Amino acid sequence: MAILERYFDNKSKKIGDEFRDYCFRHQAYPGKDTPYINNPEDLRQQAEKFAAAHKIALPLVIDPQGKLQAKVEADLNLGIAVGIEHTPTIYVVSDQTQGKPFVEVVDRRNLYSQIDEMIAEAGGTTKPLPGKKRAVTKPSI
């Protein structure tokens, strides 16, 4: 998928982003009645549909010189070098110079509690100011 994304990025960043969104809307996941993208053949078919809808020619061989593959590998190597172990990667970041400057949110169910902890460590409060509503609400899980 990453090579196809890079291919569409070469057409325009907007088209590349639209292709990513398209893939997420058409990916298989548990409970979905009609999964579309389960394997490389499904991905190719969906890429062809996307390309046709955008009047873009999709060549039989997407990356004959391996240039897109090299960019994908460079992205992977950068992620490894900076310690990214999974995506999406979410960090709660503090502007404080003491204590933890950031914490990674591994379990998204803990996002709001980790935000509250970071605020408390910085000496702030998680309670809204008088007359103000909290900017985010905790979802029911």
pTM for this prediction: 0.59
Domain limits of the chain? 2-81, 85-141
Please answer whether residues 3 and 71 qualify as being in contact, where contact means their C-beta atoms are separated by less than 8 angstroms. Answer: no
Burial of 83-92, coded b for 16+ CB within 10 Å and e otherwise, reads eeeeeeeeeb
Which position has the higher pLDDT, 71 or 34? 71
pLDDT digits (tens, 9 = 90+) for 2-27: 899 999 999 999 999 999 999 888 77
